């Protein structure tokens, strides 16, 4: 493409060069990206380099962004500065608004980052500075990756984990509900289905406890709590609206990305996902910083253990438990860590619509409600209810069961859905993806193994969570007898290409092992 020469730039009264802002419709996954044309006179004159950090100012606001350079005027013209969707939204202006760009100062904490890369121990002040620079988008993706790898390779000691967690909390806003007891429940993840939070929250809120549940979207799983709740109601709530809902209904089930709670964690997650790194230090800092920032002071933490879970052995689970308990104690949070059975998915459906169907069936006491999801949610809710000093230890489970069986939990959930903006979901006519195929048992026997990772992978290849109606619907669980040709699970996909991706993956490895009854692995459970 032959390009017309760019006109010379004119400096403004303050010496800066004004360019026109352009919204570039590229989703850069939480990274602020700026775009300049290569032949822009400013680009040549100021010595900008691709992938450097720049500061874009407009409307009295500023955004730090990573610079990308383009040759195509259809992306950005010579007199324009382009911004990715998230970055553009932060400035709060219309396209064409004048803006200035200049090179950003290096992060103040870069020396501390280099020390951590070298394996040195960092101080509280250094971790606070790193968290602050990350939250302010002063680190490039390369520098973020270096930090994630460094904290993974040279494992942080427990005090360093506390310093990192404290710094991540300080870098964002912190909610204060002005309540003596604010509870939450969290699972470290790695188990498909397992949508217990959407049951625990209405149960404990119906009892009267405050439970402001802010959740993430899926990172490597086929659905997160926010993805599943979004099938039922709006989850991207302004912080003011979120606070109104919690004060009116004692709870919420919202996406945490709009609340600026531990924003450094949101940035780090975007790097950890493609690297497939989830170190114990980062996990503890991520979870506890989010809970403290959300105003919680009592937490029940679920650590599933199983051959294909995040945590594979009981000794590993106990080490992780001790680290959570140490950091939580330093932060002033009461934590109850529960080690649970992670040998297989929890519930029947895997994917936003299928998991929403399971949740609503449990709340409705439907005869087809998955028993394992119901029982696990009741036990976790019971542990959380026992934070209430008016409840005797051991009585939580029966109280949770009464709240669920009486319909009070369903009533509370429907109130939350209405308050957040109901989407009219009917679990008996769930809007599943158009295409379906079955995966069957290759021989007679019993189900002796279900690979959490492979089942999650198949559901993602089918389109979940981006396609809400895509996913896997399980027909058999561990220990159940099967005959050759029996259906193990259904796969739902919206697009023919996704059908083929999922079909090929399930043909290579179905995720199920069929064997003899004595081959079923032992149960890891603390309930």
Q: Which residues are catalytic?
A: 278
For residue 413, what is the enclosing H or E element? helix 408-420
* Cα 352 from Cα 349, distance rounded (Å): 8
Give every CB contact of residue 266 below 8 A, 6+ residues apart in sequence.
30, 257
* Cα 194 from Cα 228, distance rounded (Å): 11
* Cα 66 from Cα 228, distance rounded (Å): 32
CB-CB contact of 234 with 104 (8 Å): no
Per DSSP, 233 falls in state B
With CA atoms as reference, report the closest residue to 87 among 133, 160, 46, 29. 29
For tokens 């382009």, name the residue: 82
The pair of structure tokens assigned to 174 is: 């912190």
**Residue 70 to residues 35, 266, 452, Cα–Cα distance (Å):** 7, 28, 42
Residue-level length of the chain? 527
* Cα 463 from Cα 81, distance rounded (Å): 34
CB-CB contact of 409 with 474 (8 Å): no
For residue 36, what is the enclosing H or E element? strand 33-37
For residue 23, what is the enclosing H or E element? strand 18-23
* Cα 429 from Cα 406, distance rounded (Å): 24
CB-CB contact of 354 with 471 (8 Å): yes
């Amino acid at each position: 493409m032959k390009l017309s020469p760019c006109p010379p730039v004119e400096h403004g009264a303050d010496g800066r060069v004004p360019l026109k802002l352009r919204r570039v419709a590229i989703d850069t996954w939480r990274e602020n990206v700026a775009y300049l044309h290569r032949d822009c006179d400013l680009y040549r004159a100021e010595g900008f380099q691709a992938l450097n950090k720049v500061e874009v100012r407009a409307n009295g606001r500023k955004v730090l962004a990573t610079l990308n350079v383009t040759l195509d005027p259809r992306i950005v013209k010579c007199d324009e500065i382009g911004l990715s969707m998230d970055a553009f939204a932060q400035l709060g202006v219309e396209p064409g608004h004048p803006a200035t760009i200049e090179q950003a100062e290096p992060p103040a904490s870069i020396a501390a980052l280099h020390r951590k890369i070298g394996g040195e121990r960092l101080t509280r002040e250094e971790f606070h500075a790193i968290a602050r620079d990350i939250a302010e988008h002063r680190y490039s993706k390369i520098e973020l990756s270096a930090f994630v790898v460094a904290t993974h390779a040279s494992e942080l000691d427990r005090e360093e984990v506390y310093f990192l967690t404290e710094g991540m909390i300080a870098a964002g806003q912190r909610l204060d509900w002005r309540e003596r007891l604010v509870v939450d429940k969290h699972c470290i993840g790695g188990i498909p289905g397992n949508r217990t939070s959407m049951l625990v929250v209405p149960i404990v809120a119906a009892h009267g406890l405050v439970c402001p549940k802010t959740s993430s979207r899926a990172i490597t799983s086929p659905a997160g709590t926010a993805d599943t709740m979004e099938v039922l109601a709006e989850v991207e709530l302004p912080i003011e609206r979120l606070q109104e809902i919690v004060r009116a209904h004692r709870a919420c089930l919202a996406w945490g990305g709009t609340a600026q709670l531990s924003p450094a964690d949101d940035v780090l997650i975007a790097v950890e996902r493609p690297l497939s790194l989830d170190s114990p230090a980062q996990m503890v800092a991520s979870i506890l910083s989010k809970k403290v920032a959300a105003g919680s002071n009592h937490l029940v933490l679920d650590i599933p253990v199983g051959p294909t879970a995040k945590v594979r052995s009981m000794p590993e689970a106990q080490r992780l438990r001790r680290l959570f308990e140490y950091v939580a104690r330093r932060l002033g949070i009461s934590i109850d860590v529960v080690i649970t059975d992670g040998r297989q998915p929890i519930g029947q459906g895997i994917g936003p619509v299928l998991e929403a169907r399971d949740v609503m069936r449990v709340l409705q006491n439907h005869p087809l409600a998955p028993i394992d999801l119901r029982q696990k949610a009741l036990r976790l809710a019971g542990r959380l209810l026992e934070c209430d000093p008016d409840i005797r230890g051991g009585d939580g489970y029966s109280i949770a069961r009464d709240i669920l069986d009486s319909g009070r939990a369903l009533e509370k959930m429907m109130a939350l859905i209405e308050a957040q903006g109901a989407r009219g979901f009917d679990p008996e006519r769930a809007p599943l993806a158009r295409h379906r195929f079955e995966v069957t048992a290759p021989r007679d026997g019993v189900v002796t193994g279900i690979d959490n990772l492979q089942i999650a992978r198949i559901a993602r290849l089918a389109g979940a969570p981006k396609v809400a109606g895509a996913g896997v619907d399980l027909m058999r669980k561990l220990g159940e007898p099967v005959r050759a040709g029996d259906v193990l699970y259904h796969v739902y996909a919206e697009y023919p290409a996704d059908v083929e991706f999922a079909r090929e993956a399930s043909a290579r490895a179905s995720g199920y092992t069929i064997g003899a009854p004595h081959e079923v692995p032992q149960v890891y459970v603390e309930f």
